[in-house]
């Protein structure tokens, strides 16, 4: 005869917390109903002692606060696990992040890019959220190294794009023989705030929002 061992399911911390909150709410409702009934039916010549039910209220409130504290603690642990605490530590510092996105702010959007070597020409395109080219530029500075590009927010049709719109930058540098040169687009700026989006930290720097995972360097601002 084969004997199958009994398996006991261990509830998760989240389930225990939810169960405790549910039981507390039910107990609190029951307590208030009993208290109301006692007050309605008490002997006017010998009223009930208020000290006893006041102590019970204090105890139930204490349990409720403990459950809330547990929820906050779980949230804190979750944030730490996603790197939120590390991301918050860079507020006020200058970071560089691999990102080709920028947000139009005060009528303009800014990017940085790097050329692997001096180019013969560089074509810069600003793309909207659908990947459509809305602006084109050909900078005169084609030297190797880090460069910056600022778009005035005016598209090919002469329309000023409103603040808040997010756009991407695409660069195509070529040498004198027409071969494409290695390049990369990035964002660099002072971190002003950190928020959690879809469980991941996102940094705000200048007119860009970049994920914490895209950060490649951090330094004290000059």
Q: What's the whole-number mean pLDDT along residues 77-87?
A: 62
- 166 sits in which H/E element: strand 166-174
H helices of the chain, in order, are 13-41, 50-81, 84-88
- How far apart, in Å, do the first and last CA atoms of the chain sit? 77
pLDDT above 70 as % of the chain: 66
Give the span between the Cα atoms of 161 and 13, in whole angstroms.
48
Average pLDDT, the chain: 81
Q: What is the CA radius of gyration of the chain?
A: 30
The whole-number pLDDT of residue 3 equals 44
Mean predicted confidence (pLDDT) in 110-121 = 96
| CB distance 112 to 124 below 8 Å | no
Band (87; pLDDT cuts 50, 70, 90)? confident
The dihedral sign for the CA sequence 171, 175, 180, 185: negative
Q: Tell me the C-alpha to C-alpha distance, in Å, between residue 162 and each of 103, 153, 166.
A: 10, 8, 10
**What are the pLDDT digits (tens) for 14-73?**
454 455 556 556 666 776 777 677 777 776 666 666 666 667 666 666 666 666 665 655
For residue 167, with 0-12 CB atoms within 10 Å meaning exposed, 13-18 middle and 19 or more buried, which class applies?
buried
Helix ranges, 42-83 (H): 50-81
Question: Cα separations (Å) of 54 from 12, 35, 124?
Answer: 34, 10, 72
Contacts of 159 (CB under 8 A, 6+ apart): none
pLDDT of 176-208, one tens digit each?
Answer: 999 999 999 999 999 999 998 888 899 999 889
Instruction: Quickly state the pLDDT bin for 2 (edges 50, 70, 90).
Output: very low
Q: What angle do CA 190, 100, 122 make, to 5 degrees?
A: 115
Instruction: Provide the sign of the torsion angle of the four alpha carbons 118, 123, 129, 131, taken in this order.
Output: negative
**Lookup: tokens for 134:** 């809305």
Question: Can you say whether the dihedral through the CA atoms of 112, 113, 117, 122 is positive or negative?
Answer: negative
- In terms of pTM, does the model score above 0.95? no
Predicted confidence at residue 126, as pLDDT, reads: 98
């Amino acid at each position: 005869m084969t004997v199958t061992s009994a398996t006991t399911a261990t509830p998760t911390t989240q389930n225990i917390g939810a169960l405790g909150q549910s039981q507390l709410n039910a107990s609190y409702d029951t307590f208030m109903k009993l208290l109301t009934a006692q007050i309605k039916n008490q002997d006017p010549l010998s009223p009930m002692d208020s000290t006893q039910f006041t102590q019970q209220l204090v105890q139930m409130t204490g349990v409720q606060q403990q459950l809330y504290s547990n929820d906050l603690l779980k949230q804190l642990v979750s944030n730490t696990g996603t790197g939120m605490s590390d991301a918050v530590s860079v507020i006020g510092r200058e970071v560089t992040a691999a990102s080709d996105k920028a947000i139009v702010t005060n009528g303009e959007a800014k990017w940085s890019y790097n050329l692997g070597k001096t180019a013969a020409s560089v074509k810069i395109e600003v793309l909207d959220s659908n990947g459509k080219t809305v602006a084109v530029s050909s900078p005169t500075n084609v030297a190797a190294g880090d460069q910056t590009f600022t778009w005035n927010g005016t598209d090919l049709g002469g329309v000023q794009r409103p603040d808040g719109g997010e756009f991407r930058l695409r660069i195509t540098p070529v040498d004198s023989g027409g071969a494409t040169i290695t390049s990369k687009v990035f964002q660099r700026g002072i971190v002003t705030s950190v928020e959690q989006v879809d469980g991941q930290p996102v940094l705000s720097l200048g007119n860009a929002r970049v994920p914490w995972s895209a950060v490649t360097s951090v330094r004290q601002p000059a």
